[in-house]
Structure 1
Amino acid sequence: MSRDNPTSLEQRLSVHLQPLYPDEDPARMAQACLEAMELSPSATPVKPHANLWSERDTVVITYGDSIRREAEAPLQTLRQFCHDHLSDCISTLHILPFFPYSSDDGFSVMDYTTVNPALGNWDDIETLSAEFKIMGDLVINHCSSRSLWFDNFRQSIDPGASFFYCAPGDADTSMVVRPRTSPLLREVETPDGVKHVWCTFSHDQVDLNFENPDVLYEFIKIIRLYLEKGIRWFRMDAVAFVWKKLGTACINLPETHELIRLLRLLIEHKAPDAVIITETNIPNHENLTYFGNANEAHLIYNFSLPPLLLNTLITGNCTHLKSWLMTMPPAQFGTTYLNFVASHDGIGLRPTEGLLSEWEVDTMISTLQRFGAKVSCRTNAQGEPKPYEINISLWNALQGTAQHGPDTWQYARFMCAHAIMASLEGIPAFYIHSLIATENDYERIENTGHFRSINRHIWDADALSDALQDTGTHHHKVINGMRRLLEIRCKQPAFHPNATQFTLHLGESLFAFWRQSTDRRQSIFAIHNISDQPQSLNLSELNLVSTDQWTDLISEQHFEDRVAQLELAPYQYMWLTNL
């Protein structure tokens, strides 16, 4: 069998298994993988480079209990909210980990096979999957120290006795890159003596040992269960850290990429409409490697977009955002970007490495701290704390500028940020607290002791309903503005995630790009004033084809004069289309 030209599915799996498990029989392991996924070796291969999305795809990111109603399962409350407010303008619901957990708001999973009864049950997930595509988290790097697996590890019994990655207590881990300042190794008493388990994130989140094939088989069974329950989009949480080798940075190792290729092969043969998203909050050039050759992630998070866009809007200068956009490769068909401005986590700063200077990052941090932000740190190579992410709600983050502080342009700036995200190449993902413009939750920080809680508010459903119906609230204004934006977007072929994109050069204060539909019929010029001052634009600077009729989709204004001088108000945006 040639690694370069394998034929059967079993042979193709063996190609990926051999470098991961050189001491095992790859054919036997391939068969075990097929059995775990309940796949036939003759399963039909998927069509390569197929786009499993369109311009109608938009993701909403939410916790299962971001909205609660007394005496009602939160997943049912969530379904009702999405049905009432979002069913005509979103396609995909990313429900953050909805399993029993012990910490980190769900990312310390105790049982991967059960829905947290405080949220609902599998019937609720399947009901949601009938109306929306569901993205679920595959928390693959670690699990809870209160899980059955880890209880078994403590007792040296299976399953679990060898499920966790251990290192010598005196191991040199100085090269290890991780996003936390806590000690990496945790002492654990077992019948076989003291062991030191690896904890990339916290001592309650113990890293799994994928060098053990049994861990692989367990996760394949978990994936199969999720597919059976209606989950089709898989977010591989913290996957960059999943493989460890002492003496290395223990991040982005070749084995990690091989593991993703293996899992993708299994998933796409089991469910050809399934999508893999890798969550890798790392420098941009490293993040891009998770596309592989269109054989790893279908989608990668555009982690550089949130900090660069925030920097742009608080400085009124799009130079860095524009430079970054010009360096971003067009995604191959069958892959695309997942664009977001805010999420359940903070605004990551590692993705700015090589894109913003240290002074510019410090300016952004100090500005957002004036707006109520907290800052989380990691440990750098010298063992010193270094800012890792900024924790703040996006509504508060965009209340003003670095130069002038809070101002009257908060709503316009907020909508401009989302208009940029919605029109870029890729699929837009809106955090639920951005859709409803939730503010900083300091009380939740006090209750949890974690800075990330500032942007993880839990709404009472009736209070939220009142706020959204009250025309005097910013919540009402924002959700209606967002709905209109998405209703316009989903009808434009030029906003297909893989439609052509070219950056335009209209100065420091106008961020603009051209999108063209895959059939070349529709062009859209997306133009955004990212400053707090009016900006002029002569339409002659754009390539407006003279035989076409041009209309701004936002204002519905028609333009007959192709050399007209326009003035864009602060944070005004235009989507000029020829259709």
Structure 2
Amino acid sequence: MTPLQQRLAGHLQLLYPQSDVMELADQCLAQFGLGADASAPVPHRNLWDERDVMLISYGDSLRSEHEAPLQSLTRFVRTQLHGCISTVHLLPFFPYSSDDGFSVMDYTTVNPSLGSWEQISGLSQDVKIMGDLVINHCSSRSLWFENYKAGIEPGASYFVEAEPDTDLSAVVRPRTSPLLRAVKTAAGERHLWCTFSHDQLDLNFQNPRVLLEFLKIIRLYLDNGIRWFRLDAVAFLWKTPGTPCVNLPETHELIRLLRLLIEHLAPDAVIITETNIPNQENLTYFGNANEAHLIYNFSLPPLLINTLLTGSCTHLKNWLMTMPPAQHGTTYLNFIASHDGIGLRPAEGLLSDWELQSLIATLQRFGGRISARTTASGESKPYEINISLWDALRGTSSQGPDPWQFARFVCAAAIMAALEGIPAYYIHSLVATGNDNERVENTGSYRAINRHIWQQDALQQALIGDTHHARVFDAMRALLRLRRQQPAFHPNATQYTLHTGEALFAFWRQSIDRRQSLFAVYNISDQPQSFNLSELNLIATDDWVDLISGEAHNDRMAQITLMPYQYLWLSNRRS
């Protein structure tokens, strides 16, 4: 037995103790096209550096009458974002029935309205691609589900059944719809588990045949140039009635198994877990550097937006000081906005109930919508705020809309650019797209408010005209190019939070080779703020320059005044 077979059998024994684990291990290797004697990757190896910046986009966020949307996106990346990003998170690009791609009908086919596998492979020649492995559920219009109803494989044993009188009160729900869906089958009525919606039927990973199906799917993605895998909604993967059915030990075990196989076949591959849950639970998905390479910093969006709306960085600073430095070979994925809303569960225990209600009320004033979930007691509770980032930062909680929207917006992007981890920018944040209320009305989905589809010609005109879109886009590109030149912004570079008061948010980064020190200081309020350089304890023998303005700061006792939402990146080396 090879070391790989031995490790694989160990994971399978914990997941499928009733199976012949050696035979199942051989099936996994064969399905994945992996030899049993494959070499193990080097542990604790960083597969990223300061040049890594991610773009988040749907395949059709840009549309043109003359070409497939994936071609339009590829051209935008090549011509408009050259030197700004390294990776594209290409949101689900499969045939789907709902949820803008996250209700997958066929995992093996590119939606023909978007393009083809050839175009995805072509994009992978320019940037790394992160693809969604929608692993918890599939569409009710999938072949698997049609086969389930007919009682034939593949599909007959692929879904989670439960009796309607089963006590499922402990199950954690991210939605308000009933958990079980009644389905008529050839064998009579059955009730299927639906964590998210009745069009999204949960897959039964207690059946090893489902695991083997997904190994084949992962291999297909690898063959077509995808190297980063986002495990969508993975925290809900394993179901055991009588438990919360979230973050179960078997879920972690399955992630370790997938990591083992993927990194043996493709040592440059990366796994990201999408676990929109409270902060301490989220951190467990690093495992012992043997589960996710990256985890989403889900607490960052509500805390950072709250900071800029209130003018107080207290909660953001306190949270940052509790976050453990990621081991080498792991790091955080930072984001403020994405295709989903601003999650509120990751702010639980970090913001008080009153502060959460104030945040919700402020963003509702700015056009936001509120999505709810059902708690174990049956109570409806806010789950996420649906709003574009541009509109979310149009003012403050106390004063409402104000003239500082542009400065506040860029300040938010600059904070994320400098934090430990890899920053990920939603395409609609790069171009400051506002709330798409018309799309909400047309789709009936609150999340559509931040899923605008740009006609390519219209966006091109917006980015060259005298518009806020052009101002933001130019500022964002300059910011990202500058960020990618700083070794102190390596995702695993040292970070220390500084104590500079409530209205100034500051932290120190030092490159892994210790050659660059960089102090990032931000005025997160709508009033000018001053501080003395002596507070930063600058090394007297070094020359210091603000990378943003190019201004030298060699008077260690000088007082600096930052205008509302102004910031500086004070470095001891020029880029």
Tell me if TM exceeds 0.5. yes
Q: Distance in 1 between matches of 2:557 and 2:404?
A: 29
- Cα distance in 2 for partners of 1:310, 1:490 equals 24
Determine whether 1:560 maps to 2:538. no
- Please state if 1:375 is matched with 2:367: no
1:461 aligns with 2:459: no
Paired position in structure 2 for 1:474:
468
For 2:147, the equivalent position in structure 1 comes to 152
Distance 2:293 2:155 in 1: 31
Q: Spell out the pairing of 1:376-525 with structure 2 (5 A cutoff).
A: 376-470=371-465, 472-525=466-519
1:565 is displaced (CA, Å) by 0.3
Query: What residue in structure 2 maps to residue 162 of structure 1?
Result: 157
Secondary structure of 1:125's partner?
helix
Aligned-pair CA distance for 1:173:
1.0
Matching of residues 92-171 of structure 1 within 5 Å: 92-171=87-166
Deviation at 1:26, TM superposition (A): 1.4
User: How many angstroms apart in 2 are the aligned matches of 1:64 and 1:77?
Assistant: 9
Matches of 1:98 and 1:191, distance apart in 2: 32
Structure 1 CA distance for aligned equivalents of residues 55 and 476 of structure 2: 12
C-alpha distance in 2, partners of 1:389/1:189? 33
| Post-superposition CA distance 1:35-55 (Å, at most 9, x none) | 011111110110000000000
Tell me the percent identity: 71
Match of 1:59 in 2: 54
Structure 1, residues 263-288: CA drift from partner, whole Å, max 9, x if none?
Answer: 00000001000000000000000000
Aligned match for 2:42, one of 47, 60, 75 = 47
State how far apart, in whole Å, the 1-side matches of 2:557 and 2:334 are.
Answer: 33
Q: Note if 1:286 corresponds to 2:286.
A: no
Question: Residues 536-556 of structure 1, C-alpha deviation per residue, up to 9 Å, x if partnerless?
Answer: 010000021011000001011
For residues 462-506 of structure 1, what are the alpha-carbon distances to aligned partners after superposition, in whole Å with 9 as ceiling and x for unaligned?
000000000x20000001000000010001000000000000000
Q: Which amino acid aligns with 1:364?
A: L
- Distance, in Å, in 2 between the alignment partners of 1:446 and 1:89 is 34
Q: Which residue of 2 aligns with 1:238?
A: 233
What's the CA shift for 1:82?
1.1
* One-letter identity of the residue aligned with 2:285: Y
Task: In structure 2, give the amino acid aligned to 1:488.
Answer: L
Kindly provide the CA deviation profile for residues 513-563 of structure 1, in whole angstroms up to 9, marking residues without a partner as x.
000000111000000100000000100000210110000010110012011
- Whether 1:176 and 2:171 are equivalent positions in the alignment is yes
How far 1:311 sits from its partner (Å)?
Answer: 0.5
Secondary structure in structure 2 of the residue aligned to 1:30: helix
Do residues 11 (structure 1) and 6 (structure 2) align?
A: yes
What SS does structure 2 have at the residue aligned with 1:186? strand
The aligned residue for residue 72 of structure 2 is 77
Tell me whether 1:273 sits opposite 2:268 in the alignment: yes
User: Are 2:522 and 1:528 aligned?
Assistant: yes
Q: Secondary structure at the match of 1:282?
A: coil
Shift of 1:87: 1.9
SS in 1 for 2:383: strand
What corresponds to 2:350 in structure 1? 355
**Gap runs ≥5 in structure 2:** none
SS of 2:10's partner is: helix
* 2:529 is the alignment partner of 1:540: no
RMSD: 0.7
* Aligned residue type for 1:221: K
AA in 1 matched with 2:406: Y
2:316 corresponds to 1:307? no
Deviation at 1:71, TM superposition (A): 3.1
Distance in structure 2 (CA, Å) of the matches to 1:211 and 1:392: 37
SS state of the match for residue 558, structure 1?
coil
- SS at the partner of 2:48? coil
Structure 2 counterpart of 1:508, which letter? E
Among candidates 20, 40, 55, match of residue 15 of structure 2: 20
TM-score (norm. length: structure 2): 0.99
Post-superposition CA distance 1:383-435 (Å, at most 9, x none) = 11100000000000000000000000000000000100000000000000000
For 1:191, the equivalent position in structure 2 comes to: 186
User: What residue identity is the alignment partner of 2:205?
Assistant: F
Q: Please, which moves more after superposition, 358-367 or 192-201?
A: 192-201
Unpaired stretches in structure 1, ≥5 consecutive residues = 2-6
**375-384 or 140-149, larger mean C-alpha shift:** 375-384
User: Counterpart of 1:4?
Assistant: none
2:243 corresponds in structure 1 to 248
Cα distance in structure 2, aligned partners of 1:178 and 1:379: 6
Q: TM-score, normalised by structure 1?
A: 0.98
Taking the aligned partners of 2:24 and 2:509, their CA distance within structure 1 comes to 46
Q: Distance in 2 between matches of 1:94 and 1:475?
A: 22
Q: In the TM superposition, what whole-angstrom CA distance separates every residue of 1:31-81 from its partner, at most 9, and x where no partner exists?
A: 111001111111011000000000000000000000100131000000111
Shift, 1:190, TM fit: 1.2
